[in-house]
Structure 1
């Protein structure tokens, strides 16, 4: 029996000299307390040294994936003919058995034997000292860390999480700065706040106009519509605002420059986020849009973590406080969280938002798994599911319209079945019963019957 041992310097094959000692797992560790006793249990049969760091890195990454590298396959073919091989990874053993037709063993005895070999590694392998093994281990670990970071699938998710977080921060800053401009310039021209509603247009107008006395001789056609421009010039003449000096206007214009530059950067960041989402999660983007999809990924931590969640969790993701408060107070649980801002939910009537959000969450969970674990990078699945959801929304609205259209009709007559009726007498309706009772009462009155 042979045992495969991986080291930072290369692969080693050890021959088990006394296989009977493997049956006593508890006493196996005592055999490796000293180098002399360890040599009586195993002996080095062959050693394949790595030529450079690149070969060591390739072998290490293959071992992490539980697959033998090209050098390991060549090494085992040369020295494992007709032998049984003990390995530390059962999946690696299955791969070796499938590709090389070598019987592999993975059990407690083999793991304890490998543990003992590790303690006496420098004594069992001649020419490999502890002072050489330590720098090799450190260099290989650094190379492996760089490789995993370079080819990590979560790395792109991190970019999306940071981008959507920065986008939300920019929105808050823009709103804060825009309100500060309105309050600051409102002392000079308070009527402008009512005339120009958009914050970016307001900042551009203030930067161009400066003092309100300049409004009459300026052209605002590139910023404002014609009717708004006319109203602005008329209001500037009769404004009730106070006068400001040039130093105040200079600081206000600098704040306007800040708002406009942040607005331009936000537009660039949104384009970047849109391209990233279409690349990383095209199906999720097709279903819920770039912003909602990015917020779902950020809330889940990564696309892979989000793929592990069921549709019911995706539906209420972002409404955890409301969910736990409802469970604590025994009220109705929320029907939607972040997914409420998706366009499909927004198109639905209030009474249908719960149904559409549930259906959308189920389709979104499938789209997330397809994006995270699938091989295809197109959005065909997301577009197909979106078409199905739009058809369901139309069906719900059509059913509601059909009910409201038929509600004006009279209620159907409820016919009472008479089990004692004669053949051919038909059913007795409440109207017939009422008319018969009236006729019998009139007849009794005429005849003087009580």
Structure 2
């Protein structure tokens, strides 16, 4: 057993270890607080009033290099000499992948500049942001209106539909906004110019990608179009990544989650991404678009796999798949075939096998239709039948009693069964004298000096001897 002094020393060692551990935790917490203070300091140092501190994409080297390569490629055209190389090693393919990534960055940058413009121009026309939702349209309208309070002097034709222009003019006459200062107006106009420049750069990038999709992915472009094929490939991260992706994921590329704010999801459209911009999807009736989108995603995946392996550079496979999709959608729209009347089965003309024998013959004779009923069921042409109540009322007699006297004349013939029973009865030797009187005795004497007593109600008798 350990002594009391040893136990005391062990407790002191544990206490010193815990203190060291607590010191380490306090040091980590202090480091985290310093990092948090540094982040807060960076956020506070960010000046939202300055456009250059908010929008930095156009000043990056990556943006300038890609845009310069795109402009050179658009002026030069497609280089056919490099079409035989491996797709991933082709510099034009790498430029397309970079352009797809840059296109997403440009969209995010436009949204940031749009928020900056709204914050500045809200003092002048606060209702405008609820009337014009698209960022580029909003920037064009703000640049056109400027500090003008009377919108009847501003021509917005060509920028917006006439109905929205009328609503903006009426709303501007009752707005509570005030003109901006020269400094804020200049910052707002500069932000509008930058947003419009980014939109032009985005169109150049998309034009370049679409012009090269006929070489990079000819079969995929034949199905969904060059623009949709470029967006699918850019979102997936390249043609090889798109070819490895399952069709169910290709269907959701570019889909955005919709916030219904508590409303029912029963009438909301199913989730679909860039494929809804394809011409086949738009020409399909709304009731069949769910099936068409699944079919389109499946065939697009097959076409991407063909393009990734350079299996068909002519695009014939993609055109065949597109024709197959079109025929299937047309087949879905055909009305169902008319319901044909089901014909009755052919009657069996051969006689059926029936049970025969003595028992069946007796049953037929017993329940056979009589001659009287046969005559009652028949009518003579041109001669009215007699009825039980007269004047055609009651049960009709048919041809009964039409032999001339007007009374019923029925000749009942003896059935075979009754004739056979009568014949059998006659053949039995009862030894009687044949009299039918009730006074006669059933006692009969025979030549052998014996007599036979016949019972009236049975055929059994007994013989009595002397």
TM-score by length of 1: 0.46
Structure with greater proportional helix content: 1
Please tell me whether Structure 1 or Structure 2 has the larger radius of gyration of its CA atoms.
2
